[in-house]
Structure 1
Amino acid sequence: MKKVKGSIFAMLFTGALAISCDKSDDNTPVVPIEKGQERYVIAAVPVEFSDTADYLLTAESLDSGSISTSGNGIEQDGYRYYLTVKNKFYSMLYGQGGPGAVTTYALNTNGKLQKTHDFVTETVQVIAEANGDIMLCKVPRSGQTEAQWFQVSTAANEIVNRGAIDIVELANNGERAHFTGFTMMGNKLIAPYMSIRGIAGGDVWGTAHANNSWAAVYDYPSMKLEKVITDDRTSYLGGYYLNGLERDEKGDAYGFSSANVKGDQDQLLTTKPSAIVKIDRNTVDFDKNYFFDLEQVSGGYYIVGFKYAGNGNFIARLIQDKAATNDEIKFAAINVYAKSFKWVTGLPNNLKDSGFATKGDYAPMDGKTVYVGINAAEGAFVYKFDAAAATATKGLKVEGGRITAISKVSAE
């Protein structure tokens, strides 16, 4: 792993419209609020536009009412991912290999999002909060063998450190490590990864190692590699642009594996079950005494994403058949401490994966609540999930749009 200090040269500040993601003003009515009051941020795609044109809308409540994309919100240019850290809302452009514009927003006392900073990074595949700052990582699928990481200060809104990781050396199996996410455990940055062949123009995502989980353990913020931890009871954790590892209040971390690795001919390569595993806070290693077989308790379903609510409770997305192309989604309430599993009731039938599951649901961390954007035939609604009761209740309606992400900020 190489490290380069004094990285201000790697970040370009600009106020130029060429990289600004504001294409239109927010025309929602001005409703003055006091400092500290909260508003929810809902990213939604207007139904008449392409899947890349999110609008950022604000709402006072997620439990009821309606908002519209028509004439409201701040339009985003290109496909974007979102992160809220220290009451700042970051909108990050996926630049298709080119520069990735990052725009920072704050909530003003007019109840609207206001752009505060613009800067540019590389297009990255890993975006994560890290002890109050942001860690980004550009992970090459083929060719280049070094993954570039960037530490962004949320106080300065600039890159303050950067480095490179040799992903072929890290994998140490003839393939390359492709990070799926970063999760902090104390002063350790845990970086789960999948092993991929990375053959340009050929078998990029294939692997000879479909039945293993790996995570690199780095000291933070030095990013010195301490060790690589492994497990052979399921497949890799998370997925492309999908962090599959969440830390709980005790300091342990729980990771999910879809165990759905497929080859060039769409054949299933994984023989292990979709499951949840645990990384112990004391050993910073996989807990060999903990294994939650989700395929067994769900009757053959596999997990494709989850959101932590607190107290060991998660809301999880699952799909039934690994061998099929059917993308119908079901939701389950899971408690990783009790290893309990319940299907969630109160949702529309025949839900399909909208493709936005990785962009962000919102959990207030009260031990049970998760807000999820559900785009169904009846329209787009925010549903309030109760992970303790395994129920979902219809809330805020988004008129004329499909919900892609939900977050919350407070007025400054």
Structure 2
Amino acid sequence: MNAPITKAEERRVAVVIVAAGRGERAGSAEGPKQYRTIDGRPVISRSIEVFLRHKAIGPVVVVIHPDDHELFAEAAGLLAKRVITVEGGATRQDSVRLGLQALREASPAKVLIHDAARPFVDSALVDRTIEAIGERQAALPALAVSDTLKRGGGDGTVSETVSRNGLYAAQTPQGFPFWPIHAAHMKAHHAGKTDFTDDAAIAEWTGIPVKLVEGSPVNIKLTWARDIEMADQRLSGTRFPDVRTGNGYDVHCFEEGDHVWLCGVKIPHGKKLSGHSDADVGLHALTDALLATRGAGDIGTHFPPSDPQWKGARSRIFVEHAASLVRAAGGRIANADITLICEAPRVGPHRAAMTAAISEMLGVDPGRISVKATTNEKLGFIGREEGIAAIATATVIYPGEVSA
């Protein structure tokens, strides 16, 4: 009987995304299919993001063609910094093996192997696949074949009708216990076996049982140029935009100290801000603004100040958590705007560093981040330099409803 991976190991799930092919059946004039755009975004970017935002996923390896480093960097954007990039081999099988080798030091409990040309995989399918992987058991998402199958004869006519009973169409991501599938690939490589059409077939060849899990009818592989056109049409112009704006406000008073944290940047100052965490007033306001677009409460709901684990914590943890909730709902952060209200310290010299820090936390282009400051004209507690306040606004685009 296959022992399940324990809950403690559940988060040690790695991913290998195979993106080294040339995609010639989709037409080579516009470049490999994984770098084509659908609804304005590269296919590979969509495929990577699904895994990066999943709570159970650890390291993600993307295997690319040796000639595609610039293409990948441009297509993946900021996501490229969050993955391990490996050059692939002459075949898909070679590329997967090289991707698995890149994970040996990490030694994950489980690994998912996914084709970059399947950009419509969803978190529910990822969950089902992960849950079905055992210590000596692989998991294969698949759909029962519904079309009538025919076998063609040599003269171009039908020679027989093939029973579809028990037949399934395989999908990715396919899931495996890491070291057994690594060993299986190495065994196939040393044996000169290069005719496997997917990784589940290699597992079967070495005696690893493969459990079928329910696939997804929308998890199609983009193979032909028409597939890409249809995917673009599916995403473009078929949904009403769901644009949400959230606001956040926070204030902290000063106490004895020699620095303040503002928007992720440590700034020398004659006082510090008082708070349970690092009291970064700008990031606290931004966290509330992001949570507001989900209707997900406020920062205190997720990180109560009564919880000792958050004492002295960096506030970027809060922002990254809020951003992950946004992405989990399919949201795309379009803009984040923060206004710091203080007499001192001066914000201008640190604005570029603040923008860069927030850009990294949110995984969006710096051009979508605005950080600015104003004084309170010497009025009130801010004017008396007793504290700092911040106002933040976040704009997020969520998947809309399909139009009639």
Normalized against structure 2, the TM-score is what?
A: 0.23
Structure having the higher helix fraction is: 2
Greater gyration radius: 2
Structure having the higher strand fraction is: 1
